[in-house]
Structure formats: C-alpha cells, structure tokens
Structure 1
C-alpha cells in the first residue's frame, strides 16, 4: 500500500474523525470489545500485507488494502472515543448509588454570586463507610457562606454527599444546550451543595505540572492586578496574555465580537506566533553556527511550551505549540515539511490525547482558520500586486484576515449567529496594538519592567475604545442569523466548491457552487417571508419564573416577570425570539391589563387572535367562576387553590397550562387531576416549551 508521504496524516485524519463522531453519536459501552476485535484483525491483515508485500504481489490489490487501512483508522477513532467516554466504564460512579464520594478538584473554581462552580474527578465512593474505587467527572455548584467562605484550589481532595443528578437538557427553542456542551467535556452529572455537605481533606492530588501552572499563573495575574488600576484593562490583560478568564464587561466583549477580533481574547496561534517571532529575532545572532542555531530552536520550543502550560493548555494553544515545534524541528534538521500534513498531524495528535476535542468550538475554528491561512491567504494575496513596501504589508494583513474570515464564516455564523461587517477594519486596527500588548504584557511578567505598566494599560484602553467606536458604526454587523445543521453543510459545501473552482478555474464546479448558494439563499428568503407572516404563542419552560410570548410577524408581547437585563431572560427567553426574528418586544406582567393590536389582556383573560386563555391565580381561591365561560386554555399560576374537577365544572377548556411559579407538590396535584380526567396538560417546568401555531 502506498501513500504520498507528504500528506499521509491528511489521509488518515478524515476516517479517524468519522470514527470518533459515529462512536460519540451512536456508540455504546458494549461496542468496545467489538472494536478491539475488529482493530486486531485489521491490524493483523495490514501487518501481514506489509511483511509479505512482494511475495504475495500485494500491489495487485492495493485498492482493497487501502480500504482496509481506512476502515482501521475509522475503527481506531471509534475505539478511542468509546474508551474515553467515562459513562461507559464499569467503575463509573453514577452506575450505582452511594453514600459519599471522594473527589479532587480538576480545574480552577470560578466564583459567581456566592456560587463556586468547578469540575471534580471522582476517585472513590463510600457505601456503609467502605471505600471502593470509582471514576468519572462531576460538576459541582457550591453555595458559599459569606461569613465563613471556603477556598478551593486545583488538586484539593474532598468528601461530598452523593446527591448528584443528570444534567438537564435545554427546554426552550434556541436555548444553549448546556447538557450537550458538558457531554462534550465528558461530564454527565451535576450537584448543588452547600458548605455543610463538603469536607476538605487538606490533601492534594492531580497533575503536579498542571498544579504548578495554575499556581504560577495566579502569581502573574496578581502582578497585573497590582500594577494595572483600570478593571477593564486588567481583565483584558489577564485574558489576552495569560488566558485567565477575568470578568470582562458586556460592552467590551460585544466590541471585540462585532469587529471580528474576538480571537484576540483567546490565547491562540497568533499569540504563539508573536512570541516565536520575538524570540527568533532576539536570538538571531546564534544562527552563525549550526550547533548554536539548533540550541536556539530547542530553547525557543522550551519557552513556547512553558508559555502554553501557563495559559492552561487550551486546544488552540496546543495546536499552535505542536505546529510550531514541528516546524522548528524540520527547519533545524533541514527537512521539507508539508503544511497540510503538519496541520493534520497536530489534529490527529490532539484527538488521540482527547477525542472529545472534536466538539470544542475553539478546536474547530482554530484548525479551519489555519487551513484557510495556508490555502487561501497566498492566493488572495496574489490578487493585487503592490509595489510600495508598507502598502504591501497592509495588503498582506488584509489577505490574512480575508482568508481566516472566509474559512471560518459558516461555523462562526452557525455558533455565534452574527457576522462582523467591519472585520477587516477591526483586524487592521488591532494588529499593531495586539503585538505591543503581547510584548509589553510578557515583558512586565518576565523581565519585571513594571514601569511599563502604565503604557500597557493605556494601549489596552485605547484599543478597547477604538474597537467600541468601530462596533458602533452603522451596519457594523448582521445579527440573529440562525442556521440549521443542513443549512450549515449546504453553505460550507457551496463556499468550498466556490473557492476551489475559482482557484483551479473549474467552470462546472463554479456553476454548481452558485446553484447551491442560490438554493441556500432561497431557503433563507423563505424563512424570512414565513417569519413576516408568523402568528404564534410560545409558553417558555422556566425554573421559577413565567414567560409567554405572543408573536405577530416581527413583534411580540411578552407576558413575564423577567426584565431585559435579567440573565434568565437573556439565556432562556431571548434566543427563541431572536431565532424567530422578533425585533420589537413589549414586556407585560401578570397584573397589567394591555390592549395592543390583536392582543387583549383584561381581568385575567387573554385574547390573541382567536385563541383565548383564562389566567387563574390566588385571586380565584374559594371563588366560583360563573357563567361557564369557554376558553382554549386555562393557565395556573402561583398555587391557586382550585382543583381540576371544580375547574371542569365551572369552565369549558381543552388545555391546562401549569407554570413554574407553582410549588412542586401543587404541580403534582394539578397533573394528577388532569390525568384523572384525561385532560391535555403542559407543565412549564423541566419540560419542553409549549408552542402554538395560529396560522
């Protein structure tokens, strides 16, 4: 079997990723043995073919051997994914119930509103005070007592009560799927405890290298905290240089996002490249002799990996560190290296280490961006020939930004639902400040040149203000772009064919790509027209609050106890309105009577087009509803003392709605009554939202 050696990992990577994805989506623990047997057989066949290649004239059936090799890569990816899925292990802690868990903190705890959130690794379980080995990850939310706050660090061993629950799925349309996100991090259970349910053993475990990195980064963050007075500048400095997730304001985050420069706030390839070029220039005097040049390159690699360690070893930093290390080694030993093969080898290495990286948004965007830079940037750069040296550098930077933005466009829109129109202006503006901030930030920490801190702070503030000004320009971005999975695939395929056809002058592929883009645009136009004609009622599923949106075209009346500034509104309610392209929202509370166009709310009754709702709360306690009125639905709110049998004798309705303001025992009583009379009912708590289409 023969492969082009310069792209061998490119050929391996695609079936390997396909195996990971299939195992993640459809795999079961029982398939591990099957995969092991399949891999053993396939590997034996490939070993036999290579051992007796000439004797059996294997070149006559190299096509079949190639297929076997691809199947082997597919099975290997699947096996690694299954082996890394903790819930498939026999010793997974959640397979049985126990009294206590012994865990150790696997990360940096984050404090928000007296709630300390952190991941832990289970090391053993206790039943009747007898320990037993166990494994698995758990997400903990620890309520902190302000009078006796607890401080936890990476590696701390704890004993906690075993009261975990499966992570809940998303219940509302367009809501962030927290369960899927945590599943991609191998976390399937969570618990909410207070300090009385936790015992700190005052012992430590975990990876000593990671522990050292976290402690060292904390020291560096404290240096920034001491010398940078502006809170926003401190947050940007800590995030940009050290990858420490400080509290950035919404305005600053929005400015970086709307200008297409959010990558600057994630320690990634650009940061590693800046460090490499600085070190390579400073140590260029060592290039005079071969031995010294090799020493220089190994020294640079060591510093880059040390910096990667301090920033938490994120997937984007790992990718950059591995790629630059391979590039440096190839340069040191005068070997030609294919950029695509290096990129594929880096991805393969990271996925062998952790197959779940494939679902990490940063991992996906990072590799696609680098592919765009390798493939597209040189081709875009050749579009225009610029004689002037400095204008040529500007055009090179523009080509770089265009290549990265074009490559990541489908995924960026799919994940973030917006497109920055001034991304070229934003990236040109931040180019020099980013380099200056990296050099100054690292210089302050490494060389202790603290007198440069005011200049560092001023550059950050200047950059933030400049990006905010760009973000506030008219038509700075297209927002509320929602793509389904098949739309993402269609757009990606169309852009891929378009770029390939333009680069290689393929007319047929160009026509095909244009047709696919027209199909994509046609569906987008259809959804836009449908949204302009929509008439819907959406009852949200919340934890303690209530919300119902009465939607006409791009306007909605939102009956709720939430405000626009409330995080529950922004997380649970607003995404669905954005997805349905609602731009005008009128907030109305339970007691407020309102008449707006086709929406009428008066004396605990709602009429929206032809749909009517009776709103029952505590004001109906011990009162009889006279006249046998007829409604489409009855909405129970805040524990009204009305049983279902009396409701059925006093009103005529077809659907019972029970919101989350009712106590759990009341909800259970309402549900039992509805089941007794075989009445259609919806509980708007820990269930899917209830959507009514009126057209």
Structure 2
C-alpha cells in the first residue's frame, strides 16, 4: 500500500508528540520561539518545493520527510501554547480587580446543596473601571434550600474577585482533579454563597448551544412525564440524552462490572448506532451518485440533530465530527483508507483543541474505533459459521473482543478494573441498546407515548440481567493498579501479539512474549514489595481523620469515616488499593485495640516500634500522666489542650494535626512552628504524611 494513503497517520505521529512534549514544558516566552522555528521550517519546505528541480531535491527526500515531521511536531507545540489560557497577557490572575464579570459556560450541576458550574471571564472591574480579562473559573455556589437557585448556560453574573488555585491531590492514588480541570483550561476555583453574586439578566452564550441545552431539558421533562420507574428514567436520560440523572450505585456498579459502562456515556457507540441504522434504512439511495449525496446530507443532518438533542455535549460532538468526516471521506474521497480517515478526524479535532489528547474519552473513542477497523475483521475470520444467526452472534462477539482488546490497557490504567464477563455483558446488551436507542428517540416524537411501557420494561429487564451477570463469581478484577511504565509495557506486549497473530510473524510474537515477561517481572517485584511493606499513612482530609497502619496486604485503619462514606472511597481507599491492601480493618480512636503488631492502649499507639501519643478532647482540663519518647504526637478532636503543657519527660519528633482541628488552631501552630522542637505535619491542604518504614 502506498505511503500517501497514510498521510494523516504519519503527520499525526508527529503532531501528538509535539502536543505532549510542549504541554509538559511551559514558558511564557516559548510561543515566540516556537513561532519562529515553525515559520523557518515552513519557509524551507516551500523553497524546496519551488526549486525542487534546480536543487535536485529528490536526492534529499529523507531530509525533506524529516523536515515535514519537525514541522508538525512544532505545530503541536505552537497549538498547545496558543490554547493555554494562563499564558495569555490578559489572563485574570495577572491583573488586580475588585469584581469579575463572568458568563456561565457550562450546564450547572447540582449536588448536595452545591451548584457547580464553569464560568468564562468576560472582564474585570477595578474602582468601577472595566479591565479586559480572559480565562475560566470553576465556580461553586452554596445554595439556599428555601430559595431555589436557577442558573442557565449563558447567564451573565458579577462576582467578587476572590479565587484560589485548584488544589492538587493530597493523598496517594487520589483522583487528580487539578489535572482534569487543567486540560479544560481551568486552573482557579471560587466558592461563594447564594447571596454573593449578582445576575445581570443578560444571556450572552452561544445561541446554538443555548438552544441545544434548552431542547434537551424539554426532552428530559418528557421522559420524566412518561417513565414512572425512577431507575428506568435515570438510565434513559443518561443513555440517550447524556443528562446525568441520579443513577443508583448498584446500577452503575452492574454496568461497570459487566464492561458495559460505555453504554451509559453518550459517545461514539451511540452515534454509530444511529449512523448504521440510518445507513441500513437508506441503502436504496446508493444506486445513483446524486441520491448518494442526498443520503450523505440527510444522515449528517439527522446525526447533528441528535447531537442537538443531547445538548451538544463534548463527547457527542466529538463523535459526530468523527463520523461526519468519516462519511464525507467515504462519499467523496478517492482515497478511502479507513485508518487515514480516522487519523484525519483526530487531526481536525486536535487542531481545534489540542488538549483533547489528554481526555480519556477522546483516547478511548479513537482506540475503540481503531480496534473495530483493524481487529474485528481478523477476529471474525478466525471462525466460519454457515448458520446466519450464529454468524451474527459471532460477528457481535468479534466486535466486542476487538473493542475490549484495543482499550484494555488504558481502561485498566484509568479505571483499575477489568470485567471478566465483558463478552457476556456486551453480547447481551448489543440488541437491547439498539432497541433502547431507537425507541428512546421515537418516544420523543409526537403521539408516540404509547410505546413508553415497552421502552421502560426493556430498560428494567436489561438492568436486572446486568445485575445478575455482575453478581456472578469473580465478575471483575478490581483494584488493578498499573503505573505509566506498566501501561507502556502492557500496551506494547498486546500490540506485538496482535500484529504477530495478524501477520503470522514469529519475530513479533517473540517480542510480545519478551515484553510480557518484563511486565510480569515488574508486577512480581511490586507484589514482593507489597508483601513485605510496613508503613503508616496519615491521610489529608477536609473534616475527618484517617490513618492506615499497613503490614503486607493488611491494614488497620483508624478513622471516623464509614466504609460507605464518599470521602473514604475518594481519598482513602485508592491509596490502599494502590498498595495492594486486600483486607482493611476499620476502627476508631475511642476503643483500645491489640492486634498482632498493632497496639492501641492508654492513648498510645505502637506499630512495629513506631510510637504515637494521641492528644484528643479527653485531655481537656486534665493532668498529663504519660511519659516517654514518641516518634509523633497526634492532635485530634480540636482538643483545647496546649502542647506547651506537656511535661519534659515526653519527647517527640513530629507533631501531627489532622483535619478535625479548627483552622484558627492550625494557623496558630503554623505561626509558632519555629518554637517547637519537632516537625509539624498538617493534614489539611497538605500532602498526606507517609512513614515509609516503621523499623
């Protein structure tokens, strides 16, 4: 096959490393340097083409190719810096203002009394004089239950110019919320009460996006009117409209454990279902070129109408763009190489928004489609079946295996689990998903409400079957943590193996086995370290306390959290999962405990020779009766006891303040830090305190 057929694949191979490299290398003045380098490369390539014959440039084809690669590599860097808002001269943190004029730039999300929304800064005001500003903020508004707050996309607000940087993850394994917002160009956040902003009454948002969001709200109201079962309503709204309704934890877990969680995210698969359904229904238009063009325009129009119904959510827009480009290329382009078309779609999206390269949805979408293009035909050809229905079942099975294989390493890296029964789950949900998608859209049409009972029954039955599959023994490998080197090794091993099986190449098969052995060796070494580990983690929380005493695969967790608490699952459990802890004993500081090498008695903890003295509210107005040498004293419960009153017989190396202590007390310790003969460990807005070895 000619190299020209892979033109966009080749330039994408240069553009992506450029985006990644220059995203990690920041600098205010690099954009001018990059611009100069890019211009010189572009000028050189143009001159080589103009004077191609005079210079006999064919002799330097290799160097010309290298120049083209460099051109797109630096283009990636240039796009990165041009899209990084914090580097702009008028970025709002670089100027001092009293007030900010902002526009609601996303659909507000309400949860537990807090309304969260992304706002775009229009301008600032200093002493009532306007100041040109740019940037975005994540705004959290504490709402009043007696006075419901109604904000929509495009609403214009005035808020105080009080904000802070988005906090990084403080505990090991914790979700990096700061990084997730950074790829959306948001680096600051603000917290206000409901009475601390002024709504101007103007709506300055994009009219098309505002129309799409309002239209989706109307469709959600229709679903709420027709569908009586709350769980069916939540699934229908999420699956078809992309409206994040309150799905129960049980249902979410069932979809995750069966490998069908993708069905709940309106994305490429949903748009693909609509495309294939329309392509099948309009197949009679393929007979003439004029009718084929009409078919293309009709399908594109209907796909974008569906995107409008979903509120033009980013994942749907991404999928719609990808499929639109795919249809255009298939309809008009002479070069119908699917990989080149897929690369062209990715190229167009990255030119517009280079930070998409960090988006897991973007990565998984393109990997999944690549798996369908490359792997599915090869897997399907493994078995030949004459029976039509068995052949269809095998075709769907091959489809599921291909998509799962292509995305397997990345799914494990991001979600730390692998569904064992993904074949059964995906094979089962394939047909119901198509019916749910078609019926769900039909019900939104006038005079189609009579189909609602059937629609609701299909969703409820689908959920019940998926819950049954999720309840089967060994339904999922959970808490599977791999590092970035592990991801690279696993991906290489899988890629080598797939290519070796496709081309019957022994060299690549050997490379796959060798890479997998290296990967398994790394895993074995990690398991060996985990089996011998002895460490203590004092977690950084907002209002609670938690300390894990880890020995091998077991941990004793002293905390005032329950295992059902969101804080436990968000801030504590990921760290224990990452350390391969399989058994957690949850206890609190009110009960004395003696287990193996862990002793908690008389306000003292001894763990493999590491001694901790606990000072809590029980010490208030009491005489100290402890003595000895401690590795740390742990202040908790906002005790009024003053550390200065400790007798000289008590010696200590560290002072640990957890988040149960009030802010004013923590500030007092910070101011007097130099007066203490110990290191101060504050477990609030600081990294967790880790004692690596207790011996």
Deviation at 1:644, TM superposition (A): 4.0
User: Matches of 1:635 and 1:26 in 2, distance apart?
Assistant: 40
Deviation at 1:5, TM superposition (A): 2.5
Q: Which residue of 2 aligns with 1:179?
A: 178
Return closer, same or farther for 1:79/1:312 CA change in 2, 3 Å cut-off. farther
Deviation at 1:300, TM superposition (A): 1.1
User: Matches of 1:46 and 1:435 in 2, distance apart?
Assistant: 49
Q: Secondary structure at the match of 1:394?
A: helix
TM-score, structure 2 as length reference: 0.97
Q: Is the 8 A contact 1:625 1:650 kept in 2?
A: no
Return closer, same or farther for 1:648/1:345 CA change in 2, 3 Å cut-off. farther
- Write out per-residue CA displacement over residues 339-370 of structure 1, whole angstroms, 9 at most, x where no aligned residue: 00011011111111111111111000111111
Deviation at 1:466, TM superposition (A): 0.6
Q: Which residue of 2 aligns with 1:654?
A: 653
Q: Which residue of 1 aligns with 2:294?
A: 295
Q: Secondary structure at the match of 1:125?
A: strand
Q: Which residue of 1 aligns with 2:565?
A: 566
Is structure 2 residue 113 aligned with structure 1 residue 114?
A: yes
Q: Which residue of 1 aligns with 2:546?
A: 547
- Write out per-residue CA displacement over residues 130-188 of structure 1, whole angstroms, 9 at most, x where no aligned residue: 11111101001101111222200000000011110001100101011111111111100
Q: Which residue of 2 aligns with 1:218?
A: 217
- Write out per-residue CA displacement over residues 538-582 of structure 1, whole angstroms, 9 at most, x where no aligned residue: 110111111111122222221111111111111111111111222
| Mapping for residues 307-346 of structure 1, pairs under 5 Å | 307-314=306-313, 316-333=315-332, 335-346=334-345
Q: How many residues align?
A: 694
Q: Secondary structure at the match of 1:7?
A: helix
Q: Secondary structure at the match of 1:480?
A: coil
Return closer, same or farther for 1:184/1:627 CA change in 2, 3 Å cut-off. closer
Q: Secondary structure at the match of 1:168?
A: coil
Q: Is the 8 A contact 1:558 1:588 kept in 2?
A: yes
Task: Using the TM superposition, name which of 385-394 and 634-643 deviates more.
Answer: 634-643
Q: Which residue of 2 aligns with 1:20?
A: 19
| Mapping for residues 224-373 of structure 1, pairs under 5 Å | 224-314=223-313, 316-333=315-332, 335-373=334-372
| Mapping for residues 59-208 of structure 1, pairs under 5 Å | 59-208=58-207
Q: Is the 8 A contact 1:624 1:650 kept in 2?
A: no
Q: Is the 8 A contact 1:643 1:670 kept in 2?
A: no
Q: Structure 2: which 5+ runs fail to align?
A: none
Q: Which residue of 2 aligns with 1:694?
A: 694
CA RMSD of aligned residues (A): 1.8
Deviation at 1:334, TM superposition (A): 7.2
Q: Which residue of 2 aligns with 1:613?
A: 612
Q: Secondary structure at the match of 2:402?
A: helix
Task: Using the TM superposition, name which of 216-225 and 638-647 deviates more.
Answer: 638-647
Q: Which residue of 2 aligns with 1:393?
A: 392
Q: Secondary structure at the match of 2:630?
A: coil
User: Matches of 1:3 and 1:136 in 2, distance apart?
Assistant: 45
Return closer, same or farther for 1:158/1:680 CA change in 2, 3 Å cut-off. same
Q: Is the 8 A contact 1:116 1:141 kept in 2?
A: yes
Q: Which residue of 2 aligns with 1:382?
A: 381
Task: Using the TM superposition, name which of 310-319 and 593-602 deviates more.
Answer: 310-319
Deviation at 1:686, TM superposition (A): 1.0
Task: Using the TM superposition, name which of 24-33 and 424-433 deviates more.
Answer: 24-33
Deviation at 1:626, TM superposition (A): 4.1
User: Matches of 2:665 and 2:279 in 1, distance apart?
Assistant: 69
Return closer, same or farther for 1:627/1:204 CA change in 2, 3 Å cut-off. closer
User: Matches of 2:198 and 2:411 in 1, distance apart?
Assistant: 43
User: Matches of 1:442 and 1:102 in 2, distance apart?
Assistant: 39
Deviation at 1:117, TM superposition (A): 0.3
Deviation at 1:515, TM superposition (A): 1.3
- Write out per-residue CA displacement over residues 508-533 of structure 1, whole angstroms, 9 at most, x where no aligned residue: 22112111111111221222232223
Q: Is the 8 A contact 1:615 1:634 kept in 2?
A: yes
Q: Which residue of 1 aligns with 2:601?
A: 602
TM-score, structure 1 as length reference: 0.97
Q: Is the 8 A contact 1:381 1:396 kept in 2?
A: yes
Deviation at 1:627, TM superposition (A): 6.0
